[in-house]
Every structure is written in structure tokens, then in C-alpha cells.
Structure 1
Amino acid sequence: MLQYITDQQLRRKVQLQLNKGEYRHKLPRWIFFANQGEFTTNNYEEIMNKASCLSLVSNAILYWNTSKIKNIVADLRQNGEEINDEILAHISLLPYKHILPNGTYFIGNREDEQ
């Protein structure tokens, strides 16, 4: 505890991690727009189902962002751009303004698509 109080560099590092965690929680809050982010039932199974779905959608967005950023960086490097890995380490994978939270989602069987 005393080290945290006296070490400014440690405080900055801790604050940065706290900010990342808070920013990570903004995504699910933004997705969970219905009922202003509140569960309206006392049914434990229903709450867990909704929480699991929210986690799945959040992770799908993170995966999409990671994939797109990876492709963009690969294209830039292929075109001769020098991109420092140290700088890439500071790029957030959490942007979500390009996602439509109240869009239409189709989840189906692959067999249905053929």
C-alpha cells in the first residue's frame, strides 16, 4: 500500500489498467441497451442466459476488431509501411461505434444456407 502511495510510476500503471478494464465494461453496457441494462426478472437461469449471450456478442465484436486490425496492419506492411509493434501494443481492440446494437441478427444452421 505504501509503495502505491509513494511510487508515481506504479500509480500510473495501475490507473492505466483500471481505465482499460472500465473501457472493456463499456462495450457490454452499450450492447445491453434494452431495459437500460437491467435484468427485469428474478429467474436465475434467464439472467445467466442473457449474461452468457452478452458475453458471446462482446467477444464476437472483439474478435471481429482483432481480425480487421490484423488485416489492416498486414496490408499496410505489405505496401511498405513500417509499423512498430510497440505502437501496436497500445491500439485498443474495443472500439464499437461501427457496430449496430439494435440491428437484425440471423443465427441459423449452416445446412439451411446450402
Structure 2
Amino acid sequence: MRRDRDELRRRIHAQLNKGQELHALRARLWFGSEGVIWRKQQEEQSEAARCLTLLTNCVLLWNTVYMQEAVWPLQAQGYPVDETHFEYLLPSRYEHINRLGKYSFANPAQVDPQHRRSLRQP
């Protein structure tokens, strides 16, 4: 009985951590207006919230694709990759996101045929 409760507590704690990571990502992306929606009309508020959701989903997708790109070569080289550990990966990391500055999307020489940049080598 106690062991079941401890396992449930661990699972709940893990889910809370994932939720907090997602909230931190959204806070990082919503850096203007200190996280406050200053629109008076409900439709404008909804539009701002949808934009944040879209941007968050873009970051999550980007991170997931590049996590896969990091795992596939390891599997191809014969390293044992336990797929049960994937549930512990968090695609909501944001340290690499440049919120301010210049962005360039025009250099096709740095991407592969699937339009992805190569991974940094350790």
C-alpha cells in the first residue's frame, strides 16, 4: 500500500515538473508587457493567447525534432538507447532560444535537405 502511494507521488511530481517547465517556457516567450495582456476586447485577448500557444508549440516541435536528431545517430552507432527513458526528456527547454537580436533564415548552405541545421559536436 505504501509503495503504491510512493509511486503515485513520484508520478504526480514528475507531471508537475513538466507543467512547471512548460509554464517557464511560456513566461520566457512572453517577455513583453510583463506577461500581462493589455487588450480590452475578448477577441484581442484570445488572439494574443493563441499567438503565445502557437509560438510555444513551435519551440516544442523544434526541440522534439532536434532531440530525435541527437538520438538517431547514437542508435545507428550501436549505443543502447532505452526508449522508456524518453518520457523523462523535456522538449520545453529554452536556454538556446534567442528572444532578442537578429535572425537569419536565408542561408541554405547550413541546413540539410530536410532543412535542419546540423547538431553541434561535443
Give the TM interval when normalised to the shorter protein.
0.7 to 0.9
TM-score, normalised to structure 1, is 0.78
Paired residues, number: 102
Which whole-Å deviations, capped at 9, do the CAs of 1:81-100 have from their partners, x for residues lacking one?
22111222211111111111
CA drift of 1:7 comes to 2.3
Map of 1:31 onto structure 2: 29
Q: Considering only aligned residues, what root-mean-square deviation do their CA atoms show, in Å?
A: 2.1
Alignment partner for residue 97 of structure 1, among 69, 74, 95? Answer: 95
Is residue 60 from structure 1 mapped to residue 58 from structure 2 by the alignment? yes
Map of 2:114 onto structure 1: none
Q: Secondary structure at the match of 1:7?
A: helix
- Which stretches in structure 2 are left out of the alignment for 5+ residues? 105-122
CA drift of 1:104 comes to 5.1
Alignment partner for residue 20 of structure 2, among 6, 19, 22? Answer: 22
CA contact (8 A) 2:60 2:92 kept: yes
TM-score, normalised to structure 2, is 0.73
Map of 2:108 onto structure 1: none
Deviates more, 1:78-87 or 1:68-77: 78-87
- Which stretches in structure 1 are left out of the alignment for 5+ residues? 107-114
Which whole-Å deviations, capped at 9, do the CAs of 1:7-39 have from their partners, x for residues lacking one?
233222222212211211111111000011111
Instruction: Pick the structure with more helix per residue.
Output: 1
